[in-house]
Structure 1
Amino acid sequence: MNSEKALFTSSVHLQEDDTNSTNKLAHRHTGDNVLQFRDDENLEEIILKTKSLNINSQELSEWSQVFIDYINPLILTAISAFVRLYRIDSSNKVVWDEAHFGKFGSHYLKHEFYFDVHPPLGKLLVGLSGFLAGYKGDFKFESGMTYPDDCNYVLMRCFNSLFGILCTPLAYKTGVLLGYSQLTVWFLSLSVIFEMISLTLSKFILLDSMLLFFTVLAYYCLAKVHTLRVTNEILTRKGTKALIFMGFSIGCVCSVKWVGLFVTVLIGIYILYDLLIKSYQLVSTSQLNYKIYVLHWISRILTLIVYPVIIYLLCFKIHFIVLNHSGPGDGSISTLLQASLEGNTIKQGPRSVAFGSMITLRSQGLSPNLIHSHDHLYPEGSQLQQVTTYGFKDANNNFLVEFDVDSGSRGEYAVLEPLANETGNFHTLVRNGDTIRLVHEVTGCFLHAEPIPAPVSRHHFEVSCFADLDTNDLRDEWIIEISEQEKSPSHHFQNEDPEEIHPISTNFRLRHKILGCYLSSTGYSYPSWGFQQGEVACKHAFLKKDKNTWWNVEDHINSKLETPPHQYVAPEPKFWKEFILLNYGMLASNNALVPDPDKFDKLSSEWWEWPFLMTGIRLCAWGATDVKYFLIGNPVVTWSSTLALLLFMFYCLNRAIKFQRQLIHYDVFDKDWNAFLIQGIMPFLGWFLHYFPFIIMGRVKYLHHYVPALYFAILISGFMLETLIYKKANRIMSWLIYGAMYTSVVGSFWYLKDLALGMDGPASTFKHLKILSSWMV
């Protein structure tokens, strides 16, 4: 019984325990449900708060992007416009090279042909600015001359200034594309705004602002193309659009000045680098198929070669169409092109040249000017009378056609009057294969060649003028060799004898009878003793179509021959030929822009002075009543960019050492490498390409030649700030350093602003602005 009772009691306790356990479990379950419910409420509340927080962050991000994309560049552009347009009308006189480019704009408005060393686009735009301003082209644009009331020079200056203003938003957008922080982007933009060389130049009717604008545009397009290339979007619609814009910028920058070729080379290097990578992907990997590879090549060729060439050609086509009247540049263009101009001054005499005719000879080579001589002697060599090519028409271009030496020994002369020359035949026409002598009309000397080196082209023979009619020297004889006869479109002149020399239409060579060489223009220019005129030499030409040895008769006077009853209609000039000749002439004239050692040019400077601002330029007269401008850079911008260039070279050396030691890894597809390429390497290469040529070239140099190179140096400054400060220093230190840089750039400009905005009153008032003793303030 006791055992059963105990068993019963035990089971009762067990049941109670089970009940208690069940109740506890039920109670716990109920509590868990309550907690779960409360947790769900809290979770929903958190979710709601998080959702609202995400919405606010998205709105904040959108507003931030609006500032980056629109508001910030608009603010910076407004500042740029203000400093460039402020006091743009303060000087009502022709300032510095406005005397050149304003005059060229006038020629377009009057349709008068002119010659210049630069391609036509920039000057066409100057002409357009004059047209928009209602200017008729009658002002002479002489240096220091006061603008007349009918020449709205302020509007013309504002038009030019627009290109300088637009450099700022392009520089800003370039910084954004390069992946820089807004701190660095603002530094780049402020440096471009307050860079004082380009700022000052943008206030006048010049080409420098246009050149800088298209250079900045070209690099912006390159940054855009790089961004799309990295994301493999270069063959998309966006990529094609970017390539087209880059081709447009290349065509325009080269059509303003040939300095644009430097940024073209920069882009070409990048494109070749890109295509080499594509070649590697095609040959060594399976990442690229042949069809896509060919499309890459075709897209680059069409957009970056064909398209820019078309733009360049189109500028010259417009140039030829607009300038359809005779003008001051007639002496530097081909005879056919001159003949097509209204009011040309070509003296058209009889249609066949005879012995005794007075003629001028036009070269068809690298220096397409008239053969010329004057009573100055060569300082070395034969020390005889100089023979040159000259781009202006005067009496020293006139030569008379004389019989050969044998005729002279018999007393037969073609250039003497009948009373003194009873045996002369004044109707003998000059034919192919005839031997002639050419007498310089003013000095009476014969065109002559000696077997001694030419003054510049030492591998050719010297050509001079020597002796007179009383001397019979076989080295005065030249043999006519007709190369080509061009036919007139008029039926009255279709049947001209192809064996005779006809003015304008006959191209021929003059072979020296003794030496066997050909009279030639070389494309080079004499030094100052030859007045920078074109060199003439006697060269052994191996090709019959060597155009440097081709000549034609331009002016022809012979009163003893009959003049045709009908007005001669010259053959139509061929665009390609005129385009090539004009570009050759530009090249020859550029080569002739060398400093004169006998004269001191107080405006010129040397390449090593530019990065340190050792020398500036007085742009105008310096009288007390004149508004004075001194062209000099912003010291903070220029000096900091020069320092950045030095730091960048050390930075690259450090990267190279670490790469060699395998401490860092670079791969052509690597994100860091591509960022370093477009942010640092390409801008440094751009600076080098725009700077180094001026080190090696012999032409006269001025401070404003550094402007495109300085822009790329500013980009290097941004790279070094971003790399060494923004990415390395803490936030407070970064803000302090950037703030100091902003203040320095703006403060430096503010202190020197009168140099760029114009100085009124005596120059002594502004002596405090002379930071360096070499500044001529």
Structure 2
Amino acid sequence: MAPKRSASKPSKSQAIETSEEKTSELILEPGYMRQYPKTELSDEVSANRLVHTSKERLLVGSLIIFALVIRASNLSNPNSVVFDEVHFGGFAKKYIKGAFFMDVHPPLAKLLFAAVGALGGFKGDFAFETIGDVFPPNVPYILMRQLSAFMGVGTVLFLYFTLRATGCKQSVAFFTAALLVIENGLVTISRYILLDSPLIFFIAGTAYFYTRTEISKPFSFDWFRYLALCGTFLGFAVSSKWVGLFTFAWLGLVNLIRLWFFVGDLSVSVPSIFRHAAFRGAVLLIIPAVIYLFSFYLHLMILTHEGDGAAFMSSAFRIDFDDTTVPKSTSADVGVSSIVTLRHLGTHGGYLHSHDHLYEGGSGQQQITLYPHLDENNRWIIELYNVTSEPFEFVPITDGTKIRLKHMITSRRLHSHDVRPSVSEIEWQNEASCYGYEGFDGDPNDDFVVEIVKDKSVIGEAQEKLKAIDTVFRLRHAMTNCYLWSHETKLPKWGYEQQEVTCATQGIEPLSLWYIEDNVNIYLPLDAEKTGYKQLSFFQKVAELHKKMWHINNGLTASHVFESRPSDWLLLNRGISYWALAPHQIYLLGNPIIWWPASFLFLGYGIYIVVLIFKYQLGYNISISENSFNFNYNTFIFLLGWFIHLYPFFLMERQLFLHHYFPALYFAVLALGHLFQLFSSTFKNRKTYVLYGLIFSASLWCYYQRLPLTDGSDWTLEKCEASKWFSSWDYDCNNFPYENAGNNRPANADQGGIDFNSALKPQVEGFPPQDQQPLVAEPVEQDVALEKDEL
């Protein structure tokens, strides 16, 4: 919005500032029809936005010391696994062992933890299996935690430098950064082996280096350097968590806003605007893309062995592992008497599988499932529906052939009938089972018709007759016309939580597609054609990984005892219990004195902007000073970052937790710093320092009031109860002893305790029921390992 009237000369109060204090500037030049603001700052103001005096270097040094004391001290406590260290410490182990795993996050931050662990002598001989597992002496967990802690300190410095680069004075930047140091939630996540601290550090670096381009001469060496660093940190952020994509979106929007100012600045030539767009677009796209792909290159290069995550990937992906169990080649022609394994195409469930266990429901016949691991129970013998003896020659299976599949281990045949499945009791789904007994030749409910899906099969013979690997087909039940089908639903524990297989008369067609992976037929000649998977390129592997990551991420929809929604985050309704071992507990919770003003700043700013717009429309003179212009621009930019990092979570149906709010909170604190700057520049007296002192004192009091929840130090029941401002802050005060009572705890303290030896292991989906309220949250960023069937 262009101001209706604005003074280009500084006011009297601005004129008495010393040159070192002048950090805001608004130069309006006369245009053809209106005045326009210049986008390039003067050398004086640009210099004053940098750390260039010994006095300020001492100020920054004191900030570093303060942050190190708060965030990097006593990291050895507790000396056991905390919260999602189960996953990210466990992933470090797998990197060191080279065992492939599946995770919903990009690899960069996990690689950093693994590298630090390896440098510290970690050999991958500790599993990080359960919250509360005590670290043995040979695990450099303190060193790994220091990575998070030092990045937390770096985030504080980036906030200080960003505020300075955007026009805040030293005192304001120092005060705001000091508040960030004692934000309890950010302190907690920076003390452990978690992805949040590296992510926020990289986001903070992205914001800082972008602001440095704003105060650098366009197209100078410094400008290119800071633009490249901005792209680099953006690449680091996106490569650590997909939340970095929100930062990418924010950076794209603020660059568009900047280009819009260039368009309005008549002193900037049109070719220069195009160069800005070209260089910014190229650097901020290419560098992050290269870093992102390189992190996956390292990920795949290091993980050379089949681990517990390999089962999620296609067989074509798995054949490059050094110890792959996937057959490198197999007989191409499939015929009668072939012993085959059938792989489901539509899910990552794996192979058509049966075992000598019965359904607890439905017909009570032998179970049919999908199983992700290679196993003898995956093998089936192909028979013709009307032939009871072997043909003693090779007979191919063509499109439309009616066959029976006999389970090789149990000698029962694949079967379906008009009985509802035990789990998916839906009218259009019939049960798929194994049925038969010794000497039984089968019945018509064992008959399935092979229907080759030509547009999914390789062009040529694979579209006319069954070929291993190359032919995609459906199996239609001859009696009921349903199709052998599977989906993500799991059987209960009596079905070993393997994937349900049914026979469906409708439903999503890709879920009824199959192909044969392994094929043995004794009637084929020795020189018979062989086939195998084609080796995937790096980009094909990355694409497949991303499909699985996206699918698994969207599947994290089960309820969790400590989950919360974005509206809860703003109000700081509740936190997350990270760890507990009486009489200590770690519970993630923010500092309300900092949290609430930052989170609800958008309301006051929105009202302020609406009032300005109405005054402008009603014809009032709008006087925009240098300080208010700088406040409006930067507060809008940072609140835009807050909004972009928050709003998408309102649209998500997956599990969400308080720590998902921290990137948005960082931008909100940046905006809060500019509110302090506006106040400081408006009221130039000691009262501002009194206000800062009161706010910092209240924040420091809040920090120390709940410090035992942040670092797991000693506490008492009385102090714990006094710290609970709301009943929704559900940390368990019964875990702590009475004051002046030694280690005596309340009689009911054990009711809230947790047996770490029986803590739940990470699962693909499913969490404790809501009526089970553990004192400590189980890991929430799911490690998606699958347990092997021991049948």
TM-score of the pair, normalised by structure 2: 0.73
Is 1:270 the equivalent of 2:245?
Answer: no
Is 1:729 the equivalent of 2:691?
Answer: no
Partner of 1:98: 85
Superposition map of 1:102-501 within 5 A: 102-143=89-130, 144-228=132-216, 233-275=217-259, 287-289=268-270, 291-346=271-326, 350-352=330-332, 353-357=334-338, 359-362=340-343, 367-371=347-351, 392-393=372-373, 398=378, 400=380, 402-403=382-383, 407-408=384-385, 410=386, 412=387, 421-423=388-390, 427-430=394-397, 446=414, 465=432, 468=435, 470-472=442-444, 476-481=448-453
Q: Retained in 2: the 8 A contact 1:399–1:438?
A: no
Q: Distance in 2 between matches of 1:728 and 1:525?
A: 62
Partner-residue secondary structure (3-state), 1:621: strand
Superposition map of 1:517-666 within 5 A: 552-554=515-517, 571-596=534-559, 601-624=560-583, 627-663=584-620
Q: Distance in 2 between matches of 1:629 and 1:113?
A: 31
Q: Distance in 2 between matches of 1:364 and 1:274?
A: 48
Deviations 1:661-719 (A, max 9, x none): 3436699xx97787346421122122222222222211112111111111122123223
Partner of 1:492: none
The amino acid across from 1:736 in the alignment is V
Q: Retained in 2: the 8 A contact 1:350–1:557?
A: yes
Partner of 2:14: none
Equivalent pairs, count: 675
C-alpha displacement at 1:622, in angstroms? 3.2
Partner-residue secondary structure (3-state), 2:323: coil
Partner-residue secondary structure (3-state), 2:451: strand
Structure 1 regions of 5+ residues with no counterpart?
A: 1-52, 413-420, 488-494
Partner-residue secondary structure (3-state), 2:167: coil
Q: Retained in 2: the 8 A contact 1:180–1:722?
A: yes
C-alpha displacement at 1:580, in angstroms? 0.6
The amino acid across from 2:726 in the alignment is L
Deviations 1:387-437 (A, max 9, x none): 9876x427698363645xxx42x2x2xxxxxxxx42566844446775656
Deviations 1:450-497 (A, max 9, x none): 9x9xx99x9xx869636857453699434134668999xxxxxxx999
Partner-residue secondary structure (3-state), 1:136: coil
Q: Retained in 1: the 8 A contact 2:145–2:192?
A: yes
Residues 432 and 192 of structure 1, relative CA distance in 2, 3 Å threshold: farther
Q: Distance in 1 between matches of 2:623 and 2:542?
A: 47
Q: Retained in 1: the 8 A contact 2:402–2:449?
A: yes
Q: Distance in 2 between matches of 1:69 and 1:534?
A: 65
Q: Distance in 2 between matches of 1:537 and 1:682?
A: 55
Deviations 1:30-54 (A, max 9, x none): xxxxxxxxxxxxxxxxxxxxxxx99
The amino acid across from 1:126 in the alignment is F
Deviates more, 1:325-334 or 1:355-364: 355-364
Residues 629 and 535 of structure 1, relative CA distance in 2, 3 Å threshold: farther
Partner-residue secondary structure (3-state), 2:331: coil
- Larger radius of gyration, structure 1 or 2? 1
Q: Distance in 2 between matches of 1:438 and 1:298?
A: 61
Q: Retained in 2: the 8 A contact 1:666–1:673?
A: no
C-alpha displacement at 1:287, in angstroms? 4.7
Partner of 1:716: 671
Q: Retained in 1: the 8 A contact 2:563–2:657?
A: yes
Is 1:738 the equivalent of 2:687?
Answer: no
Q: Distance in 2 between matches of 1:465 and 1:481?
A: 21
Residues 566 and 432 of structure 1, relative CA distance in 2, 3 Å threshold: closer
Deviates more, 1:142-151 or 1:652-661: 652-661
Partner-residue secondary structure (3-state), 2:53: helix
Residues 113 and 671 of structure 1, relative CA distance in 2, 3 Å threshold: same
Superposition map of 1:5-24 within 5 A: none
Partner-residue secondary structure (3-state), 2:444: coil
Partner-residue secondary structure (3-state), 2:580: coil
Q: Retained in 1: the 8 A contact 2:482–2:503?
A: no
Q: Retained in 2: the 8 A contact 1:350–1:558?
A: no
C-alpha displacement at 1:354, in angstroms? 4.0
The amino acid across from 2:113 in the alignment is V
Partner-residue secondary structure (3-state), 1:256: coil
Q: Which of the pair has the greater relative contact order for Cα pairs under 8 Å at 6+ separation?
A: 2
Partner-residue secondary structure (3-state), 1:727: helix
Deviations 1:102-151 (A, max 9, x none): 11111111111111111111111111011111111111111121112221
The amino acid across from 1:244 in the alignment is A
Q: Distance in 1 between matches of 2:417 and 2:632?
A: 57
The amino acid across from 2:389 in the alignment is E
Q: Distance in 2 between matches of 1:517 and 1:527?
A: 20
Q: Retained in 2: the 8 A contact 1:384–1:464?
A: no
Q: Distance in 1 between matches of 2:492 and 2:466?
A: 35
Superposition map of 1:42-53 within 5 A: none
Partner of 2:744: none
The amino acid across from 1:205 in the alignment is I
Q: Retained in 2: the 8 A contact 1:362–1:368?
A: no
The amino acid across from 1:209 in the alignment is S
The amino acid across from 2:703 in the alignment is F
Partner of 1:772: 726
Deviations 1:46-96 (A, max 9, x none): xxxxxxx999x99xx999942575332222122112211211002111111
Partner-residue secondary structure (3-state), 1:630: strand
Q: Distance in 2 between matches of 1:607 and 1:500?
A: 54
Residues 718 and 664 of structure 1, relative CA distance in 2, 3 Å threshold: farther
Partner-residue secondary structure (3-state), 2:239: helix
Q: Retained in 2: the 8 A contact 1:431–1:500?
A: yes
Partner of 1:13: none
Q: Distance in 2 between matches of 1:532 and 1:257?
A: 30
Partner of 2:765: none
Residues 293 and 701 of structure 1, relative CA distance in 2, 3 Å threshold: same
Is 1:684 the equivalent of 2:639?
Answer: yes
C-alpha displacement at 1:267, in angstroms? 1.1
Q: Distance in 2 between matches of 1:701 and 1:276?
A: 36
Deviations 1:553-589 (A, max 9, x none): 4455667878999999864321111111110000000
Partner of 1:9: none
Partner-residue secondary structure (3-state), 1:344: coil
Q: Retained in 1: the 8 A contact 2:399–2:450?
A: no
Deviates more, 1:218-227 or 1:585-594: 218-227
Residues 62 and 277 of structure 1, relative CA distance in 2, 3 Å threshold: closer
Q: Distance in 2 between matches of 1:569 and 1:62?
A: 63
Q: Retained in 2: the 8 A contact 1:226–1:678?
A: no
